[in-house]
Amino acid sequence: MTPSAEPGPDPDSSPTPVVEQIPVPASVDAPDAADYVAAVDLENAVRASAIGSDELAWLPDEQLPHLLDDVHSDHRLFGVREQGRLVAVGWYETRREGDAASTAWLDLSVLPEARRRGHGTLLADHLEQLARSEGRTQVIAYVRSRGDGAPRLVPPTGVGSVPRGNGEVRFLLGRGWELGQVVRCSRLALPPDEEALGAIRERARSAAGDAYRLHTWVGRSPERWIDDLAALETRMSTDAPAGGLDEPEDVWTAERFRDTEERALAGPRTRFTAVAEHVASGRLAGFSQLEAPVDRSRPAFQHDTLVLREHRGHRLGWALKVATTDLLQAERPGHPAVFTYNAEENRPMLDVNEAVGFVPFEHEGAWSKKV
64-102, pLDDT tens digit by residue?
A: 999 999 899 999 999 999 999 999 999 999 999 999 999
Q: What is the pLDDT of residue 321?
A: 92
Residues in the chain: 371
- Top pLDDT among 13 and 171 is at 171
Using alpha carbons, list the distances in angstroms from residue 21 to 10, 24, 130, 227, 284: 28, 9, 12, 37, 42
Report whether pLDDT(196) > 90. no
CATH code linked to domain 187-361: 3.40.630.30
Residue 228 has pLDDT above 60, yes or no: yes
Task: Please determine, for residue 370, whether its predicted confidence score (pLDDT) is greater than 70.
Answer: yes
Q: In the prediction, which pLDDT does 7 show?
A: 40
Distances (CA, A) of 305 to 45, 221, 242, 292, 363: 28, 16, 15, 16, 19
pLDDT at 355: 87
Domain edges within the chain: 14-185, 187-361
Q: Do domains 14-185 and 187-361 have the same CATH topology?
A: yes
| Tens digit of each residue's pLDDT (9 = 90 or more) over 271-298 | 999 999 999 999 999 999 999 999 999 9
Query: Which pLDDT does position 275 carry in this prediction?
Result: 98
- pLDDT for 255-268, tens place per residue? 999 999 999 999 99
pLDDT at 2: 32
Distance, in Å, from the CA atom of 339 to the CA atom of 28, rounded to the nearest integer, reads 25
∠ CA 365-370-371 to the nearest 5 degrees? 125
Q: pTM score, two decimals?
A: 0.92
Please tell me the CATH code under which domain 14-185 is placed: 3.40.630.30
Q: 173: closest CA among 341, 371, 360, 368?
A: 368
